[in-house]
Chains A and B, each alone.
Chain A
Amino acid sequence: MSQAFVEIRHAQKSYGQLEVLKDISLNVDRGQIVAIIGPSGSGKSTLLRAINDLDPLTGGEIWLDGVQVNKALPHRQYEKHINQMRQEIGMVFQHFNLFPHLTVRENVTMAPKLLKKISDKEANALAEEQLDHVGMLERIDYYPAQLSGGQKQRVAIARALAMKPKLMLFDEATSALDPELVEEVNLVMKKLAQEHMTMIIVTHEMDFAASVCDRVLFMDQGVVVEEGPPEQVFKNPTQERTRNFLRKHLEGAK
């Protein structure tokens, strides 16, 4: 059986009686960019966070490049396995989660130095390369507290990219930013798209999703309601729930 690059098979998650993900399956090919949209509480962040096992599923499988991420293993072995897998899955958070006690450079180099045992010299070169990529090279020796929100998020992206991940996850990466700072982060994400990075993006920004993504998933109440290319989902949604959501969202944006 041929396999997609990222495969989510029958993902299911419940907290006691509450089912937040109900049998979700999704395939993403290498280099594809998928946006997940939907109202808050729809389960879209939970699904994203299940991919690198931050929020473990209660049922179903996650596969990346032919390896099962949430493999059933004894605790110790699983910890080793998941730490390895997470090195290949970059994640960017809504609230950046930069390490405030470290400089921008140290934020980027900490994980590669610790996990890939690279030398200080290699680590510095890596930090410079990645920060240059997101336009933050001139702030390399600043502390996160000295940066704007948009700059923090660009550093967070560089930090994730420094591990050379196969897949990048964005969990509402621009939701916490002032409107005028959103564009600089979107530009970096567009740049990654042009470089064919495989990305799964949870977002509220329909315009951005429409312009960058190959495919859009609309989720509501733990299920995928509608899925397709952005032209179809945004312009000719087949489902009533999608139409309602998009209408409300459009009104909210005015």
Chain B
Amino acid sequence: MGLDFSVLPPFYGTLALGVLWTIAITAASAVLSFFGGILLAVIALYAPMAIRLPFRFVAWLFMGTPLLLQLFLIYFGLVQIGIDLPAFVAGVIGLGFHFAVYNSELIQTAMIAVDKGQMEAARTLGLSRRQALIKVVVPQAVRDVIPPIGNNMIALLKDSALVSVIGVSELTLSAQRAIGQTYRAFEFYAAAAVLYYIINLGMEAVLRWFENRNRLYR
């Protein structure tokens, strides 16, 4: 039995919907992981011990256990304690926090690397430490780590396939559903792979745009 790509066209609609869900869950998780990463970095560097330690423990949990397990816990586990999240929301929370922890490591390093004179200059003008962090330190740190955060976001896109297991109809699950009806695994998985690659190219273009926008200040 050879390959026959003519099985694809009837499922274009299914795959297109999968692409849209993949983009939606990746975008929502990326935004959560970005701002969550900043928040975690600020907490890790500046919060009092009593706040810092529990956060460090949670961060360690997210880093030290499989993402797949985290998604199962959030979607199937939390129901038992009365938190019934829609699959999409559970997926965004799982992916978002998982990558927030990785982003936070990058942002922390960059915040430490921001010249001490920057904080001093801001404080000298009368800004509070919090204002100085928001207006001066964090923006510089974030600009310095856009390329490595971009790498994390590409990993996030690929890991978004994992949310198929909790029933979000993203690209991988859409391909599986098509295969379920046609028994044509190679054709549909190959089509999904090509589509992931195309989304990836789009993401890289967005990242390059962000990088270029920040080039002037160096």
Contacts and interface: CB of A to CB of B under 8 A. Distances in A.
Given A83-B127, A84-B126, A101-B217, A114 B135 contact: yes
Contacts of A163: 125-126
Interface residues of A, number: 29
A172 to B, nearest CB: 13
Contacts of A83: 123, 126-128
Given A93-B117, A97-B115, A101-B139, A143 B216 contact: yes
B217 A95 contact: no
A193 interface: no
B146 interface: no
A79 interface: yes
B124 A145 contact: no
Nearest to B216: A143
Contact of B131 (A90, A114, A156): A114
A110 interface: yes
B127 A97 contact: no
Nearest to A103: B217
A91 interface: yes
Interface in A41-67: 52, 54
Nearest to A53: B123
B140 A101 contact: yes
B126 A86 contact: yes
Contacts of B120: 54, 93, 97
29 contacts: A52-B124, A54-B124, A83-B123, A87-B125, A89-B124, A95-B117, A97-B117, A97-B118, A97-B121, A98-B121, A99-B118, A99-B122, A99-B140, A100-B217, A101-B139, A101-B214, A101-B217, A111-B122, A111-B125, A114-B131, A115-B125, A115-B126, A143-B216, A145-B216, A145-B217, A159-B125, A160-B124, A160-B125, A163-B125
A54 B123 contact: yes
B186 to A, nearest CB: 49
Main secondary structure of the interface of B (DSSP, over half): helix
A30 B39 CA distance: 45
B125 A79 contact: no
Interface in B91-134: 115, 117-118, 120-129, 131
B44 interface: no
Interface string B42-62: 000000000000000000000
Contacts of A97: 115, 117-118, 120-121
A156 B129 CA distance: 20
B203 to A, nearest CB: 24
Contacts of B115: 97
B136 A99 contact: yes
A172 B212 CA distance: 35
